[in-house]
Amino acid sequence: MTASIDKPRTNVPQFTTERQFSAIEAEVRRAIERVLASNWFVLGNELQTFEQEFAHYCGVSECVGVGNGTDAIELALRACGIGAGDEVIIPAFTANFTALAVTATGATPVLVDVSAETATLDPARIALAITGATKGIVPVHLYGQPADMDAINAIAKQHSLWVVEDVAQAHGATYRGQPVGSLGDLGAFSFYPTKNLGAYGDGGAVVTDNPDLAARLRVLRHGGIAEGYMSVVKGRNSRLDELQAAILRAKLPHLTVWSERRREISRRYTEAFSHLEGLETPLEGAERYHVYHLYAIQSATRDALASYLAERGIGTKVHYPHALHQLDAYPEWKEFAGQFPVAEQLARTVLSLPMFPELTDDDVNAVCNGVRGFFEDSRNGSRARTE
């Protein structure tokens, strides 16, 4: 096969694990070898040590490793006693997995719109959604930005509700100097490979400062089994295995530097795009350390922008093209069309640009030039109109 001459020379993926693996390959291989040599694969030393290290990282006393982030949310809610007949408030704009985790407990998710500034749960709208059946709130730190936790915790306290943070996208973010995951009653993390701290497979964890909740989680994740093989509750089988725990231990010491690099890249993007008309850069809420799991711009012409960038070898993705009430899996929510205007607006306009710590300065410049090129071309009217 011969290379086509008009193929773009630029190749900047929206995300890849490849470059990070090259950088830390020796450490990861040592971790894997350690597990193989130990002959112990589930619920062993690696998990126990990772749980201590990750709890410390989150500024809490307890961490319980589970199979994935969805299970982490589900089991955290179940540890609070939430289940059938209960209602749990979640944002209308998040990964579908947040809603799935709530339904897996038997409880009903209740959608609340997000704030236009931060794309996280809008505290001003929560009170209206509270009923006698409401038992919990699951704020999502979307794209790496902490939700407005002071306001959310105040409402939760007033109505005696549990707060389970969905921290799948925000490992290491802080809110008023406090690490996310430590702000609610429990924090549920995902270590899916694309996340800021990613395993090489599925993984998740729940963190908390409450030892009783942690003890319940340890029973729930392991078949509901307590002492003496007595199954005390219909639990789940959902554990973070030794290989993934060892790999996460190899990666955790790098996380702070990786978050800093994500923020540096986001600053460059925001600077480069600040003067562009027709594009909105992500806003950082006050007193937040945003860790930019994703750098999502908003544009009414995002589909045309995505195609333009793809032609130039720059990858993008849409997180997410639908608000939760627009998903076919939830026909019961279709009647809410028009009721969550911010979520619907985000679904129409967001576009995630390349974002991972191993992007080079040249990559970042290529993205900046690509995006600027699109808006300059369209201003000059040289772009064929797609609408």
Ligand X SMILES: *Cc1c(COP(=O)(O)O)cnc(C)c1O
Q: Which residues bind ligand X (CB under 6 A)?
A: 68-70, 94-95, 97-98, 140, 166, 168-169, 190, 192, 202, 204
Q: How far is the CB of 203 from ligand X (least distance, A)?
A: 7
Q: How far is the CB of 141 from ligand X (least distance, A)?
A: 8
Identify which of residues 101 and 246 has a Cβ nearer to ligand X in the complex.
101
Q: How far is the CB of 89 from ligand X (least distance, A)?
A: 15
HEC letters along the chain: CCCCCCCCCCCECCCCCHHHHHHHHHHHHHHHHHHHHHCCCCCCHHHHHHHHHHHHHHCCCEEEEECCHHHHHHHHHHHCCCCCCCEEEEECCCCHHHHHHHHHCCCEEEEECECCCCCCECHHHHHHHCCCCEEEECCECHHHCCCCHHHHHHHHHHCCCEEEEECCCCCCCEECCEECCCCCCEEEEECCCCCCCCCCCCCEEEEECCHHHHHHHHHHCECCECHHHCECCCCCECCCCHHHHHHHHHHHHHHHHHHHHHHHHHHHHHHHHCCCCCCECCCCCCCEECCCCCEEEECCCHHHHHHHHHHCCECCECCCCCCHHHCCCCHHHHHHCCCCHHHHHHHHHEEEECCCCCCCHHHHHHHHHHHHHHHHHHHCCCCCCCC
Cis, peptide link before residue 320, omega less than 30° from 0: yes
Report which residue's Cβ sits closest to ligand X: 69
Q: How far is the CB of 281 from ligand X (least distance, A)?
A: 21
Q: How far is the CB of 386 from ligand X (least distance, A)?
A: 30
Q: How far is the CB of 362 from ligand X (least distance, A)?
A: 29
Identify which of residues 95 and 206 has a Cβ nearer to ligand X in the complex.
95
Q: How far is the CB of 47 from ligand X (least distance, A)?
A: 16
Instruction: Report yes or no: 305 and 377 within 8 Å, Cβ to Cβ.
Output: no
Identify which of residues 80 and 102 has a Cβ nearer to ligand X in the complex.
102
Identify which of residues 70 and 105 has a Cβ nearer to ligand X in the complex.
70
Identify which of residues 73 and 359 has a Cβ nearer to ligand X in the complex.
73
Identify which of residues 202 and 363 has a Cβ nearer to ligand X in the complex.
202
Identify which of residues 351 and 371 has a Cβ nearer to ligand X in the complex.
351
Identify which of residues 195 and 218 has a Cβ nearer to ligand X in the complex.
195
Q: How far is the CB of 278 from ligand X (least distance, A)?
A: 28
In terms of Cβ atoms closer than 10 Å to its own Cβ (0-12, 13-18, 19+), residue 351 is buried
Identify which of residues 34 and 322 has a Cβ nearer to ligand X in the complex.
322
Q: How far is the CB of 313 from ligand X (least distance, A)?
A: 26
